Amino acid sequence: MSFDPQYLKLTGHIAGVDEVGRGPLAGAVVTAAVILDPDKPIEGLDDSKKLTEKKRSLLAEQIKEKALCYFIARAEHDEVDKLNVFHATLLAMKRAVEGLNIAPDKVLVDGKFCPQITYPCEAIIKGDSRVAAISAASILAKVSRDNEMIALDKIYPGYGFARHKAYPTKLHIEALQLLGICPIHRKSFKPVQKILKQFTND
């Protein structure tokens, strides 16, 4: 795909940042920060939601091999409950940027808000479709969180985490109604609160 020309002209170490996992009822919000190497272009970068699982996995490996640096960070489910998902996401983004072993000259973040960091930062709506480094970050975050939910499915069987990645699907809600919540569910989210009340009243 062709990225936004105004961001292609930026020079220096440009870090792209994106998150995955604001909407799910369980698990962490996962973020990634990536500084790509202009001398090692990666073909096929795009918004992770537009890519197949197989394509995302292949691109994630290329990003890890070719990027100048990257860092994957997170805010845990209990931090989401404590801070709310908005502030937990910004915290996870801050952790991702601060984890980079190369200081960025500028940080470009997908969305409307920037985390509190010491580097120049710009929030870009639909940035994962407009900026290559943000696309790369979205892919790393998505692959990392999906793999984590597949692993958690084995620890907490019956909820279907490997299938729906903890999003509030019909299957997930039905599992909650049957099993109740597990330790990684976000207790501040309304569907989970509803199940908690249901099991408390029974």
Domain locations in the chain?
Answer: 5-155
pLDDT at res. 98: 98
Q: Are 19 and 29 in contact (CB under 8 A)?
A: yes
For residue 200, the model assigns a pLDDT of 75
Cα(156)–Cα(28) distance, rounded to whole angstroms?
15
- Rounded CA separation 202/113 (Å): 42
CA distances from 66 to 26, 28, 70, 187 (A): 32, 27, 10, 39
Contact 118/105 with Cβ under 8 angstroms?
Answer: no
What stretches in the chain show pLDDT beneath 50? none
27-53 pLDDT tens trace: 999 999 999 999 999 999 999 999 999
- Give the angle 122-50-73 at the CA atoms, nearest 5°: 50
**Phi then psi for 57, rounded to 5 degrees?**
-65, -40
Q: What is the pLDDT of residue 92?
A: 98
Alpha-helical runs (H) found in the chain:
5-8, 53-66, 77-83, 85-98, 127-130, 132-155, 161-164, 170-179, 190-201
Domain 5-155 has CATH 1.10.3720.10: no
| d(C-alpha 158, C-alpha 178), whole Å | 9
